[in-house]
Amino acid sequence: MASNVNRQVLLKSRPEGIPESEHFHIVEGVVPTPVGNQVLVRNLYLSVEPAMRGWVSAVKNYAEPVPIDGVMRSFAVACVEVSCHPDYRVGDIVTGLFGWQEFAAVDAEAIQRKVSDADLPPSTALGVLGLNGITAHYGLLEVGQPRPGETVVVSTAAGSVGSCVGQIAKLKGCRTVGIAGGPEKTQLCTEYFGFEAAVDYKATDFSQQLAAACAGGVDVYFDNTAGPISDAVYEHLNIGARIVVCGTASVANWDPPPHGPRVERHLLLKRARVEGFVVLDHPEYEVIALKDLADWVRAGNLRYLEDVLDGIEQAPGAIAGLYRGDNRGKRLIRLTPA
Amino acid sequence: MASNVNRQVLLKSRPEGIPESEHFHIVEGVVPTPVGNQVLVRNLYLSVEPAMRGWVSAVKNYAEPVPIDGVMRSFAVACVEVSCHPDYRVGDIVTGLFGWQEFAAVDAEAIQRKVSDADLPPSTALGVLGLNGITAHYGLLEVGQPRPGETVVVSTAAGSVGSCVGQIAKLKGCRTVGIAGGPEKTQLCTEYFGFEAAVDYKATDFSQQLAAACAGGVDVYFDNTAGPISDAVYEHLNIGARIVVCGTASVANWDPPPHGPRVERHLLLKRARVEGFVVLDHPEYEVIALKDLADWVRAGNLRYLEDVLDGIEQAPGAIAGLYRGDNRGKRLIRLTPA
């Protein structure tokens, strides 16, 4: 270690809605010393993801809120610097909730996994070969249960989960329609990620575009947005449709919840199902998904984009940028040792 | 046959929302003569049910709209008067979509089933041992999948489907909470149908009543209403909750759909599922359900109430009465041969 400084991003105040850079501050701590069986890791890449909005919110959620003046919760891929645990050796590449900081001393149980796909870049462990890919795999295949020939519609289709969903659906023989914001992203959907059609939700003729792209109806809708985008998709459900609720990116604030057209009539007429899931409930699924995902990446059947910001000082503003749609692909913060 | 007159209720005009007596007229036709392999049936009881609102609506639905000047579609239990088909004999009791009329000449395929539970009153074939009971059985057990010890909440709990759902849930070891309108119906829920708690959605403290009755959360919500009643229930979902969408009685008009709080956040946080079903999709299930239901009725474990109106002239106003909540139990029109 070239320095004894551990720069950390702490939560300064709780945002109403989307966290901005002003809600965080960067402090210089001291690199911790592992105690007991702990492992000292040096973070290589920090993850930035939409779920972070929920993690800093005081509103009831599936994880405890990050405390004020606590290190921002984050997945990271890291290199083991010091190990007091027999399962880990110096130089191992590991992932876990190591936080927005340069170094973390963690119990072995806090390590999510050791990255074994050494032929693939470590950053992929936070995206296509990490939570995003596993979320897409589980949500589409286990919750959505697509059958060959069916039409699968995905919102935030150019994003790191959505692009993965579209490609997996295509690998499973489905027809895929992506929904994204603006011509650059819809082009990315069709030309880079192989969606058969892509629809621009920012276009004035969005509903007509969607109707044209879904002329045969929608069998699976992988919903990353909720809101008016979903309302438009519900108009085209086929009998027996499955809606996978993965995220609600289009809703800035759930307290109180926004109102929209009630959906029960669609669900009755179409004998349709809407189901929410949280992939962290299914840790046993990780191995199954990662095997498929790594094989598909190696075979060139699963493409991904990374949006890499350099330096921990980029972290505080990085979540708001996601919600503005600034990123192209999985947003990461790359840390370079001082 | 004492008379050659066949009184029929025809649809006069298409209502916006709930059909009232002014939307029908009664005409005197002639008793039809069965042709080919047809069977002539004399209706004993006509059914009145909330779904009829959908059947007369021009809005897309799971059945073709009843044509203007057509006989109102209705399930009925009837006695075979003339049979040209080897499977049916004079005196057989049968059910089917025989319509709001005194006589119908029907193809054998139009007969839903021959009533074999001769020890039980024929009227039950339209309620607890008919579509209502089968709907409750399928919806609760196949869609809702309750486990012993779970809390099952039912809306329109004093109604013919709701009361059946509550009793089946109790037979399966669940804790049951009924939602009904007014003290008379909530009392019916707890004292006659055996719900452990009943909540009055018309009371000013409805949400507090519901919170108290569902202190341990809701595992299965059997939704017959949609609307604000459902909004209140969604606040109490447990992790892994299942919402069975069976009907939308609280919504007078779906064109355009009313707005309400969006539910995606609940579904994500609670990993919950909402699913619509139409029991007519599952004709093979009828035998399974009827066996259970008849056994439970005979054993005194499944109680039912009938709200019998006398004479076909009562039919036109009978649907609106359902939506006003005039009935106590399954609403039927009893026809007495002239």
Q: Are residues A195 and A267 in the same domain?
A: yes
Inside any domain, residue B287: no
Q: Are residues A72 and A116 in the same domain?
A: yes
Check residue A144 and give its pLDDT.
98
Distance CA A150, CA B47 (A): 39
Asked whether the predicted pLDDT for residue A337 surpasses 70, the reply is no
Check residue B145 and give its pLDDT.
98
Higher per-residue confidence, A47 vs A338: A47
Select the residue from B265, B279, B280, B285 to test the A interface by mutation, using most A Cβ atoms within 10 A: B265
Six-digit token pair at A67? 């405390």
Asked whether the predicted pLDDT for residue A241 surpasses 90, the reply is yes
Q: Are residues A135 and A122 in the same domain?
A: no
ipTM for the assembly = 0.89
Confidence of residue A118 (pLDDT cuts 50, 70, 90): confident
Check residue A17 and give its pLDDT.
85
Check residue A60 and give its pLDDT.
65
Residues of B in contact with A63 (CB under 8 A): none
Angle formed at CA A27 by CA A24 and CA A29, multiple of 5 degrees? 140
Distance CA A133, CA B237 (A): 29
For residue B53, the surrounding DSSP H or E stretch is helix B52-55
Residues of A in contact with B229 (CB under 8 A): none
CB contact under 8 A, A251 and B264: yes
Check residue A117 and give its pLDDT.
83
Inside any domain, residue A211: yes
Cα distances (angstroms) measured from residue B263 to each of A234, B271, B274: 14, 12, 10
Average pLDDT, chain B: 94
Q: If you measure CA to CA, which chain B residue comes closest to A231?
A: B262
Residues of B in contact with A281 (CB under 8 A): 271
Check residue B337 and give its pLDDT.
67
Check residue B338 and give its pLDDT.
57
Inside any domain, residue A108: yes
Inside any domain, residue B286: no
Residues of A in contact with B264 (CB under 8 A): 223, 226, 230, 245, 248, 251, 276
Higher per-residue confidence, B184 vs A336: B184
Residue B93: how many other CB atoms lie within 10 Å: 18
CB B333 within 8 A of CB B101: no
CB contact under 8 A, A262 and B257: yes
Check residue A50 and give its pLDDT.
85
Least confident of A221-225, B48-52, B104-108: B48-52
Query: Can you give the residue range of the structural domain that contains B272?
Result: 135-280
Q: What is the CATH number of the domain that holds B71?
A: 3.90.180.10
Place of tokens 């009184």: B7
Q: Are residues A79 and A179 in the same domain?
A: no
Q: What is the CATH number of the domain that holds A264?
A: 3.40.50.720
Inside any domain, residue A171: yes
Distance CA A222, CA A166 (A): 9
Q: Are residues B36 and B146 in the same domain?
A: no
How close A269 gets to chain B, by Cα (Å)? 6
CB contact under 8 A, A257 and B254: no
What is the rounded average pLDDT of the residues B107-117? 90
Q: Are residues B327 and B276 in the same domain?
A: no
Asked whether the predicted pLDDT for residue A130 surpasses 80, the reply is yes
Inside any domain, residue A289: no
Check residue B194 and give its pLDDT.
98
Q: Side-chain half-sphere of A216: how many Cα atoms within 13 Å?
A: 12
Asked whether the predicted pLDDT for residue A97 surpasses 90, the reply is yes
CB contact under 8 A, B273 and A270: no
Asked whether the predicted pLDDT for residue A301 surpasses 90, the reply is yes
CB B242 within 8 A of CB B145: yes
Which is nearest to A325 in space by CA: A193, A122, A155, A177? A155
Domain count, chain A: 2
A159-218: per-residue pLDDT in tens? 999 999 999 999 999 999 999 999 999 999 999 999 999 999 999 999 999 999 999 999
Q: Are residues B140 and B111 in the same domain?
A: no
Inside any domain, residue B318: yes
A21-42: per-residue pLDDT in tens? 999 999 999 999 999 999 999 9
What is the rounded average pLDDT of the residues A247-269? 92
Cβ-nearest to A272 among B61, B272, B276: B276
Check residue B213 and give its pLDDT.
98
Amino acid identity, position A249: A
Q: Are residues A114 and A135 in the same domain?
A: no
- Orientation angle between helical segments B206-213 and B227-234, nearest 10 degrees: 40
Check residue B195 and give its pLDDT.
98
Ranges of H-type helices in chain A: 52-55, 131-137, 160-171, 183-187, 206-213, 227-234, 264-269, 285-298, 318-324
Q: Are residues B202 and B250 in the same domain?
A: yes
Residues contacting residue B176 through CB under 8 Å, at least 6 positions apart? B151, B152, B153, B154, B166, B169, B170, B194, B195, B196, B197
CB B47 within 8 A of CB B318: no
Q: Are residues A227 and A308 in the same domain?
A: no
Residue A219: how many other CB atoms lie within 10 Å: 24
Check residue B211 and give its pLDDT.
98
Average pLDDT, chain A: 94
Largest CA distance in chain B: 65
Asked whether the predicted pLDDT for residue B17 surpasses 90, the reply is no
Asked whether the predicted pLDDT for residue B2 surpasses 60, the reply is no
Q: Are residues B216 and B122 in the same domain?
A: no
Check residue A102 and give its pLDDT.
97
Q: What is the DSSP letter of B2?
A: -
Least confident of A61-75, A143-157, B302-316: A61-75
Distance CA A99, CA A11 (A): 11
Six-digit token pair at A149? 């020939």
Asked whether the predicted pLDDT for residue A62 surpasses 70, the reply is no
B281-295: per-residue pLDDT in tens? 999 999 999 999 999
Residues of A in contact with B266 (CB under 8 A): 276
Q: Are residues B206 and B264 in the same domain?
A: yes
Confidence of residue A73 (pLDDT cuts 50, 70, 90): very high
Select the residue from A61, A250, A264 to test the B interface by mutation, using most B Cβ atoms within 10 A: A264
CB A150 within 8 A of CB A122: no
Confidence of residue A142 (pLDDT cuts 50, 70, 90): very high
Dihedral angle computed from the Cα positions of residues A49, A55, A59 and A63, in that order, rounded to the nearest 10 degrees:
120
Check residue B27 and give its pLDDT.
97
Inside any domain, residue B289: no
Q: In 3-state terms, what secondary structure has residue B293?
A: helix
DSSP codes joined into one string, B211-262: HHHTTT-EEEEEESS-HHHHHHHHTTEEEEEEEEE---TT-S--SSPPEEE-
Strand partners, A11: A24
Check residue B202 and give its pLDDT.
97
